[in-house]
Amino acid sequence: MKTIKVGLLGIGNVGSGTYLALEMNCAAIEKSAGVHVEIAKILNRRPEAKRAVDVPREKYTADPYEIINDPEIQIIAEVMGGIEPATTYMADALKAGKHVVTANKAALAVNGKQLQQLAMDNHVMLRFEASVGGGIPIINAVADPLVSNQYDEVLGILNGTTNYILTKMTENGADYADVLRDAQAKGFAEADPTGDVEGIDVANKLSILISLLFGKRILPQDIPTTGITSISGIDISYATEFGYKIKLIAHAQRTPEGLTYSVEPTLLPVSHPMAAVSNEFNAVFVRGNAVDELMFYGKGAGPLPTGSAVLGDIIDIANCIAKGAAFDVQPLLHYDSKMPSLGEGSAQYYMRMTAIDRPGILGHIASTFAKHDIGLQSVMQRAGDNDRKTSVPLIFICYTTERRILNEALNEIRADGYATSIDAVMRVQDR
């Protein structure tokens, strides 16, 4: 049986999970794939540190180029994270004729175009199943068995930490800060959770999905992104009354005018299949023009689920090498669509504001919305919900409108002094 040698760059969560998944399933892999995959060298800058897996010390090196330039190593799995030096190492590996597997959404979202070009120029493969949705096989599925589709829409719950926090806030009526502390204690949130709770991690993943599904290069920083830090328990309970759950949703949609996209807390109808995705689980929902609706569900993070995806890519490539298959039929990421990029576009919106408790105020606010051609689907006034008798919370759900126009109307309502504060504005997914 042919042995394919692999180099790992990094031995943290995902590196250890990849190593362990191979140890656990080595015999089954050999039987089904017909190749022996060996992790031959591992980049470890702290060889004395305790790692989650037992690795023979002679596999470790502190020099990445001992792996990148090793003529026996054919596949390199980059599981270090960060944009640099990971991008440079991947680029150098591709130039050295190595196939590259990566879990690194941050590097891929920004440098995927350059890396993919290098892979094509050097007739090697660049695979990145683990970069979006961890263990969920979304990338290879949309690129391979679903390639016959033109995609109309994608919705993703792509961050386990934020989904866990929102689930607990919904189930227990608990506040964001308390749930975050609990999530950190249970290992579902990092000590510094900024990248997760501010939506940055999800924007990286949406950027990759957009190039894959819609053929456009939208950098993460150009995706309108709102995290979950300002969601309050009161919005969750109002949403429940209206028949919705609040989830942090990555959304992109092909419209007649162009591509719309955002990462933001979104009210999903409880009947929507994505509304049932709870705790640390992730899901991706796509609408293809041939396959119609599809949903992928699973663990979006964790050493073994993510290691499973990394290893899957490694085995696929090893299989191609063993069979002498062509590598120049790439991929996956596309950047050639001429569709205009529209940002948030149009949607229904949920709004909560605090208004002066005076006769006629609700009418003034409704007529300001009407002036901007914004129709109101639901209106709720809850005098008893506010301690101060001089103000009252007003909750609206409007019909589909452009976010830009909604912002103009809200600015006018604020400037007219009808509302003392606009406390929440969230997208509502209508189907």
Residues that bind ligand NAP (CB under 6 A): 10-15, 43, 45-46, 79-82, 85, 103-105, 130, 134, 301-302, 306
What tokens appear for 232 in the block?
Answer: 């309050």
Instruction: Determine the Cα angle at 343 with ends 264 and 337, to 5°.
Output: 125
Closest CA to 300 of 322, 277, 320: 277
Beta carbons within 10 angstroms of residue 113's beta carbon: 14
Most distant CA pair in the chain: distance in Å? 83
Question: Shortest distance, CB of residue 14 to ligand NAP, whole angstroms?
Answer: 4
Q: Which is nearer to ligand NAP, 205 or 427 (CB)?
A: 205
Question: Shortest distance, CB of residue 42 to ligand NAP, whole angstroms?
Answer: 9
Question: Shortest distance, CB of residue 109 to ligand NAP, whole angstroms?
Answer: 11
Question: Shortest distance, CB of residue 184 to ligand NAP, whole angstroms?
Answer: 15
Q: Which is nearer to ligand NAP, 83 or 362 (CB)?
A: 83
The closest residue (CB) to ligand NAP is 12
Q: Which is nearer to ligand NAP, 129 or 344 (CB)?
A: 129
Structural contact between residues 236 and 263, judged by C-beta atoms closer than 8 angstroms: no
5 noted as active-site residue: no
Catalytic: which of 205, 216, 245, 247? 205
Distance CA 191, CA 178 (A): 14
Q: Which is nearer to ligand NAP, 48 or 336 (CB)?
A: 48
Question: Shortest distance, CB of residue 8 to ligand NAP, whole angstroms?
Answer: 9
Q: Which is nearer to ligand NAP, 43 or 267 (CB)?
A: 43
Q: Residue 85, preceding bond cis, omega within 30 degrees?
A: yes
Is 117 exposed, middle or buried (CB count within 10 Å of its CB: 0-12, 13-18, 19+)?
A: middle
Q: Which is nearer to ligand NAP, 108 or 228 (CB)?
A: 108
What tokens appear for 332 in the block?
Answer: 């996956």
Alpha carbon separation from 116 to 136, 210, 335 (Å, rounded): 22, 15, 11
Question: Shortest distance, CB of residue 215 to ligand NAP, whole angstroms?
Answer: 24
Catalytic residue list: 205
